[in-house]
Amino acid sequence: MAYSMADLIILNIRLITQQIKDRFGIYKSRRTFFLLILGITIIFYLLSKWMPHRSNYTNVHYNKCLQTKLEQFSSDVADMNIIINHEPIQFGEIVSLPFTGNGYIGLSLSTQSHIQLIFDPGTSFISSSYSPIIQISSKIWEDSSATIIQMNHGLVRRLQCFQISEVHSAYVTHTLYAHRYRSSLIIQEIDIINPSDQTLDLDFQQKTQTSGNDIKQLDIQELQIDSTKDTYLMTTYQIITRQHNSSICVILTKKIILSTHIKPNSQNKQIILTVIKYSPSIPDDLLRNQTYRKQWQKTLEKQAKDDLSEALSISFKELLKEHIDTWSLIWQSGFSISHSLAPSVMNGDVINRTIYYVLCSTPSPLYELNLDETKKNELNQSLFQIDGCFESHSTL
């Protein structure tokens, strides 16, 4: 059959078109398959981020729980970096106050303790009669505990173990520190892990305030800071500091829940920030002037809210790192851990404990936030005036 030139052209066009369709169909099929796989991968990735992970927490027998948890500090014990006190105290342990401070404020890890205001390292602490410390207890489960003072980090911890059954226990780590870099800030971190197959019910108790003749409440209000959903309680006091003198003190702290329920094989973490701002000691005659007193109150309340807002803008991990880094600089600036355990003398453990409490009660303005350059130069120059500085322990 003879084809004309026009027929040949049309035939070639049809062949080329068919080849294009065949190839495009294969390409389209491959592209669709690739996009499908990519879409499924993205969905699974997002689900893995959004869905809660079920971790398998290690169960520890109750009789071994506390000792097992303390083993993580064994190297620090050998290096005399920490002090451990069981509750009740065990043979050979020296009772030590689980105290933390930064030279401006201090607090011990006890519900009987109140925030202490440090006006001058050479004078007695002034009690605020306020305690943000949370005591964790259970009406059902037996518990055992121990406190730890990490002297080289400026941290105080309480380890608690709760007996859930014959073979299961839950454990709580309560960490407390007066922030060394942010002098108005106290941080509590409560980490509860329940590896058992039962729900753990715990009560949170907080004895915030006790009444007294030397303290007067001026104001109390609930508020929210920035975009957080947590409620904070801001209380303003007038506290007697010495005869005919008082201080205006503002305490801003997170309002806590009264109880918590930790599901089987799960974890619950609570972080409580407390900010304390207070005025210097002011003659009572001046504070009787309502305008003058309210001006101090307004200034301190704003400072407290600003300090808390700034702390909330930083991750809790970074806040802890700031504190430890600053404390380590202070600890290494003139003192080091003593390993002496010679008989019949003042040994290294006593020396280190003394140094720790002195540092908790002494400000270190050279390492504090918002230090201007002029003040920094003045402080650096004062370091060359070494008369009266600590040289050594007279009994060693």
Name the least confident of 63-72, 197-206, 387-396.
387-396
Name the least confident of 44-53, 116-125, 200-209, 263-272.
44-53
pLDDT for residue 394:
47
Nearest to residue 123, comparing CAs of 367, 361, 295? 361
Task: Give the mean model confidence (pLDDT) for residues 132-147.
Answer: 91
pLDDT for residue 393:
47
Q: What percent of the chain has pLDDT over 70?
A: 76
pLDDT for residue 97:
93
Q: Which residues pair with 337 in a beta bridge?
A: none
Q: Position 129: which residue type?
A: S
Token digits of residue 300: 């301190």
Tell me the C-alpha distance between 83 and 349, whole Å: 8
pLDDT band, residue 228 (cuts 50/70/90) = confident
132: exposed, middle or buried (C-beta count within 10 Å: 0-12, 13-18, 19+)? buried
| The length of the chain, given as a count of residues | 396
Task: Give the mean model confidence (pLDDT) for residues 122-140.
Answer: 88
Q: Indicate whether 376 pLDDT > 90.
A: no
pLDDT band, residue 331 (cuts 50/70/90) = confident
Tell me the C-alpha distance between 77 and 87, whole Å: 18
Q: Position 338: which residue type?
A: S
Q: Indicate whether 19 pLDDT > 70.
A: no
pLDDT for residue 139:
87
357: exposed, middle or buried (C-beta count within 10 Å: 0-12, 13-18, 19+)? middle
Tell me the C-alpha distance between 70 and 65, whole Å: 9
Q: Position 322: which residue type?
A: E
Per the model's pLDDT, the better-predicted residue between 58 and 309 turns out to be: 309
CA distances to 44, 45, 53, 232 from 49, in Å:
9, 6, 9, 30
Q: Indicate whether 191 pLDDT > 70.
A: yes
Q: What phi-psi label fits residue 4: left (phi over 0), alpha (psi between -120 and 50 degrees) or beta?
A: beta
pLDDT for residue 20:
53
Q: Indicate whether 186 pLDDT > 70.
A: yes
What is 42-66 written as a DSSP string?
HHHHHHHHHSPP---PPP--HHHHH
Tell me the C-alpha distance between 360 and 128, whole Å: 17
pLDDT for residue 259:
84
pLDDT for residue 283:
95
pLDDT for residue 333:
58
pLDDT band, residue 330 (cuts 50/70/90) = confident
Name the least confident of 10-19, 141-150, 246-255, 269-278.
10-19
Tell me the C-alpha distance between 130 and 132, whole Å: 7
pLDDT band, residue 395 (cuts 50/70/90) = very low
Tell me the C-alpha distance between 392 and 127, whole Å: 32
Q: Indicate whether 21 pLDDT > 60.
A: no
Q: What phi-psi label fits residue 333: left (phi over 0), alpha (psi between -120 and 50 degrees) or beta?
A: alpha
Q: Indicate whether 353 pLDDT > 60.
A: yes
pLDDT band, residue 206 (cuts 50/70/90) = confident
Q: Indicate whether 253 pLDDT > 50.
A: yes
Token digits of residue 343: 């008989």
Nearest to residue 177, comparing CAs of 305, 325, 11, 21? 325
Q: Indicate whether 24 pLDDT > 80.
A: no
Q: Position 176: which residue type?
A: L
Q: Indicate whether 362 pLDDT > 70.
A: yes
Name the least confident of 158-162, 250-254, 261-265.
261-265
pLDDT for residue 42:
74
Domain residue ranges of the chain, discontinuous segments joined by +: 62-209+255-277+315-382
Nearest to residue 80, comparing CAs of 395, 352, 347? 352
Taking the model in full, what pTM does it have?
0.80
pLDDT band, residue 332 (cuts 50/70/90) = confident
